[in-house]
Chains A and B, each alone.
Chain A
């Protein structure tokens, strides 16, 4: 599975959009971009995933560049409860193990 690079931490004001970047320059054609988050002392929570098209669900939007070498997770209206570690993971779809990197600590501040 391709390696990902994320900033170690980011701050965001409550109510504003949080944009979390991820670089995955060695991604292969059959690899998806997955995003999970982990709130302190809990198991990871699935957020969203995509292959090459932009995706949106009730939690977030995922923007993938045309060359697929990077992506951005967007939380449109961040709340204090969105404070967590966000992990960007690249893998072949379905069933394969997830390899977690260091992730980005997002701190939402009032």
Chain B
């Protein structure tokens, strides 16, 4: 089946710094990629949808200047959390969609100290 990877799998950063998370579709070309955030004991919340070569579409309440999404190729999307704060600590999950289905990455655990 289609494989989606995320890097890093976990990261700890200091408050005020920025951190970049990569999402790659390893064996297929993803027309669309999605970014989700999940807080402990809660469900996944969609943050944004990105299509290769165009600007991401953010869900209501998600700050586009804080969560920068770049979808530079059909196999790579990045999420940059800028000026991170402790409340940004969360589990970030991406998914990649081909023409038929969505496939999820393993997630990235971000801890901001």
Contacts and interface: CB of A to CB of B under 8 A. Distances in A.
Interface in A8-44: 36, 38, 41-44
Contacts of B31: 95
Contact of B104 (A45, A85, A103): A45
Interface in B75-113: 91, 93, 95, 97, 99-107, 109
A50 to B, nearest CB: 14
A102 B104 contact: no
Query: Size range of the interface on A?
Result: 10 to 19
A101 B100 CA distance: 22
A81 interface: no
Interface in A57-82: none
Tell me if B's interface is mostly helix, strand, loop or mixed. Answer: strand
Contacts of A85: 43
B34 interface: yes
A93 B47 CA distance: 20
16 contacts: A41-B91, A41-B107, A42-B106, A42-B107, A43-B106, A44-B95, A46-B101, A46-B103, A87-B43, A94-B101, A95-B99, A97-B46, A98-B95, A98-B102, A100-B44, A103-B43
Given A43-B107, A99-B46, A101-B43, 15 more contacts: A41-B107, A43-B93, A43-B104, A43-B106, A44-B104, A46-B103, A87-B43, A94-B97, A94-B99, A94-B100, A95-B97, A95-B99, A100-B43, A102-B43, A103-B43
